[in-house]
Structure 1
Amino acid sequence: MDSDRGESRRTSFGRRLYPMRAVGLAIGVLCVAAVMQEHGAAPWLWALLVFDGLVWPHLAYVHVLRSRDPIQAEYRNLLTDAAFGGFWIAVMAFDTLPSVLLAVMLTMDKVIVGGRRFGAKNLALMALTCLVSSAFMGFRFEPYTTFRTMLACLPLLIVYPLAIGAASRLLAQQTLRQKRMFEKTSRFDAATGLMNRQQWQYAANVEFNRFVRAGRPAVLIMIDIDYFKQINDGYGHTVGDAVIEEFARLMKACLRDMDTGGRYGGDEFGIVMPETRWEEAIVAAERLRRQVAAYVFPGIDLRCTVSIGLSEINHSIANVTDWISAADAALYAAKRKGRDCIEVAKIPQRSPYAARSRVDA
């Protein structure tokens, strides 16, 4: 399934260009045909024009679908388009309006697709093909455009730019969606839906700066799943991942809208609680601890406990790193006291406090 998705992504470039090529070359045939009729072109040129305008777009798409490298195959198709364009300019003996239209349109879409360097490469190939083809035909130069040819050029002049504009808008919208998805995935942990470590630390830093500016209270909580390594070793990493996901769900259910939960790393989690004193935070932490201890993880008949450390922001904390370290130290104090409990970091400005709570027997 993953390989199918990967193949689909590789061929999406060709799928996007296929309708543009089909429409552009089909209406481009009208311009070239009008000039060829005036010049009395040979039958083989008419057959080649039909092939280029009505058959080649579909063959190019099939080539992309069957290629081992669809993206490179499509770039080769674009170069072929440019070579054909140069050939038809020579066939039209440089008839001004259709020649300029072909050159501009075929270069414009290449710049949109591959940038200025790729556009310049296509323009150079078009010029070279035009020069060689013109030499083969005796350097015919008839730049005058009749009114009939002008009318035949109108569909290309009107329809193709509109089609390119619509395609560019769709591509821009898709790029924006992908950017937003990337930003979301770069902020959140994929397994839990919580903020990742970097973004969670950023949220903690915001609260620390808020305390420095306005003295607003906040509490930082660090949580660790007890004996998680034994769970991984005894039940396997699949069960370990399930435990992480289920714990994250329980933790999110205990958060207020203003709180920020994050996965700090492995089986360690953090919560930033704005506008909160440690007395309030310990109530929320105890509720979470009890819920986890009472929860039976589905399908494996497994129970877990958590150790929790919390630290209220205060003026002895110099930066957000110290704040996290204080909560982390309280967490490890909880582990040393037997796990499945809560420890509060000492606050120098107030009476030292260490709290420990367990599920009542």
Structure 2
Amino acid sequence: MNNSIHKGLSYARRMYLPRTVGLGIGFFSVAAAVYPSHPPAWVWALMLFHGYGWPHVAYQLARFSSQPYQAERRTLIYDSLAGGFWAGAMGFNPLPTVTALSMMAMNNIAAGGPRLFVLGCIAQLAGSAVGYWILTPVLFPDVTQIQIYACLPMLVIYPLAIGLVCYRVAVQLSRSKKALEKLSTTDSLTGLMNHGAWKDLLTVEFNNCQTLNRQNSVALIDIDHFKSINDTYGHIIGDNVLKQLGGALTASLRETDLAGRYGGDEFCVILPDTTLAQAGEILERLRRTVHEHTHSALPNLKLSLSIGIAAYGPHLTDAGMWLHEADMALYDAKSTGRNRVTSAQPGVKTALMVR
């Protein structure tokens, strides 16, 4: 409910600018068209209120409504009804009438699409009949030079206001889209790439290696005895350990390296333009950093990493085979004592073991 109210108020705020600008400058085109018929004082008072008071009243109606979105939609219909009234009041003077009603129609279709456009047109017709019936002006009077000049601000400034609002909406949508894309590719706990996003990048890097003959390495990282950490200290500490490793990866790796959380306590890294030896040096530094780190709240908790690395080679047929080599190197690291970095031997086939 609160989210709905927030969206409704945001919608009302977006409409506030074009309504204020449109009615403020529209006053002059209507006044220039109505003046020759010498209307009574109440018409001028109503015209002034509609041009300079109604935008603020309309916004307050939406602001204090329990359903601001619906209140603003009703206000847009009232705008069309009032626009039609002034068209009838000036005897359907061609230029001011077309200018005012077309600008309102543009506003309606920008704010609510075809449905609001149709409802607005119906309201304009009803308002036109009422305005003409009450004031009975001369029908279709000649357009004067003053009326032409009075319509120019509406034709120039109001479309700019609508364009500004649409631009702001487009910018906000673009930001929201980027935020959603980031959420869909980011692991919420560590802030690294999630499994799916990292696997997609692995395929891209594999294809680049094939076409560009690049040197590239991939690594799988596993926290040793992570289950016992959860069992001994609890899952909150376990989550904290995962966050710390995510931070250590970000701090220790190069800007070009692509780190992700593969799943559970396993992490993954792509190291572009890196030989097996270079990758080994980078990840050995990471292993030492993590192993030497002391947890402030739990000084007895010591972490260690087992890391398997595989370099790209022409013997690889797909990204899955490349990842499998890194997985086998990781298994070797774990089976030979853990807390070490092991490099895959290209072309050596190893049976897949369950860890």
SS at match of 1:297: coil
Partner of 2:214: 216
Q: In 1, are the aligned partners of 2:230 and 2:238 still within 8 Å (CA)?
A: yes
The structural deviation recorded for 1:182 is 4.2
Amino acid corresponding to residue 78 of structure 1 in structure 2: L
SS at match of 2:142: coil
SS at match of 1:311: strand
Amino acid corresponding to residue 196 of structure 1 in structure 2: N
Partner of 2:249: 251
Match of 1:28 among 21, 26, 29: 26
d(CA) in 2 for partners of 1:79, 1:254: 60
Amino acid corresponding to residue 224 of structure 1 in structure 2: D
1:243-267 C-alpha deviation (Å, 9 max, x unpaired): 2222112112222343221222343
d(CA) in 2 for partners of 1:170, 1:102: 24
Partner of 2:324: 325
Question: How do 1:221-236 and structure 2 match up within 5 A?
Answer: 221-232=219-230, 235=233
d(CA) in 2 for partners of 1:300, 1:128: 76
1:107-129 C-alpha deviation (Å, 9 max, x unpaired): 12223333445334423432343
Amino acid corresponding to residue 348 of structure 1 in structure 2: G
Amino acid corresponding to residue 347 of structure 1 in structure 2: P
Question: How do 1:292-311 and structure 2 match up within 5 A?
Answer: 292-301=290-299, 302-311=301-310
Match of 1:85 among 54, 59, 83: 83
1:182-216 C-alpha deviation (Å, 9 max, x unpaired): 44444444543433333322332222123323443
User: Residues 72, 330 of structure 1: CA spacing in aligned structure 2 closer, same or farther, 3 A cutoff?
Assistant: farther
The structural deviation recorded for 1:346 is 4.2
Amino acid corresponding to residue 245 of structure 2 in structure 1: F
Partner of 1:358: none
SS at match of 1:303: coil
User: Residues 214, 41 of structure 1: CA spacing in aligned structure 2 closer, same or farther, 3 A cutoff?
Assistant: closer
Amino acid corresponding to residue 50 of structure 2 in structure 1: D
Q: In 1, are the aligned partners of 2:89 and 2:136 still within 8 Å (CA)?
A: no
Question: How do 1:3-18 and structure 2 match up within 5 A?
Answer: 8=6, 10-18=8-16
Q: Runs of 5+ in structure 1 lacking a partner?
A: 353-361
d(CA) in 1 for partners of 2:50, 2:232: 66
Question: TM-score, with normalisation over the residues of structure 1?
Answer: 0.82
The reply to whether residue 195 of structure 1 matches residue 231 of structure 2 is no
1:85-141 C-alpha deviation (Å, 9 max, x unpaired): 112211222111111111111112223333445334423432343245545666962
The structural deviation recorded for 1:333 is 4.5
Partner of 1:60: 58
User: Residues 285, 126 of structure 1: CA spacing in aligned structure 2 closer, same or farther, 3 A cutoff?
Assistant: same
Partner of 2:339: 340
d(CA) in 2 for partners of 1:136, 1:49: 15
How many residue pairs match? The answer is 349
d(CA) in 2 for partners of 1:238, 1:139: 78
User: Residues 211, 119 of structure 1: CA spacing in aligned structure 2 closer, same or farther, 3 A cutoff?
Assistant: same
The structural deviation recorded for 1:292 is 1.0
Q: In 2, are the aligned partners of 1:246 and 1:297 still within 8 Å (CA)?
A: no
Partner of 1:118: 116
d(CA) in 2 for partners of 1:164, 1:257: 42
Partner of 2:151: 153
Question: How do 1:121-136 and structure 2 match up within 5 A?
Answer: 121-131=119-129, 133-134=131-132
Partner of 1:359: none
SS at match of 1:94: coil
Q: Runs of 5+ in structure 2 lacking a partner?
A: 351-355
Root-mean-square deviation (Å): 3.2
Question: TM-score, with normalisation over the residues of structure 2?
Answer: 0.83
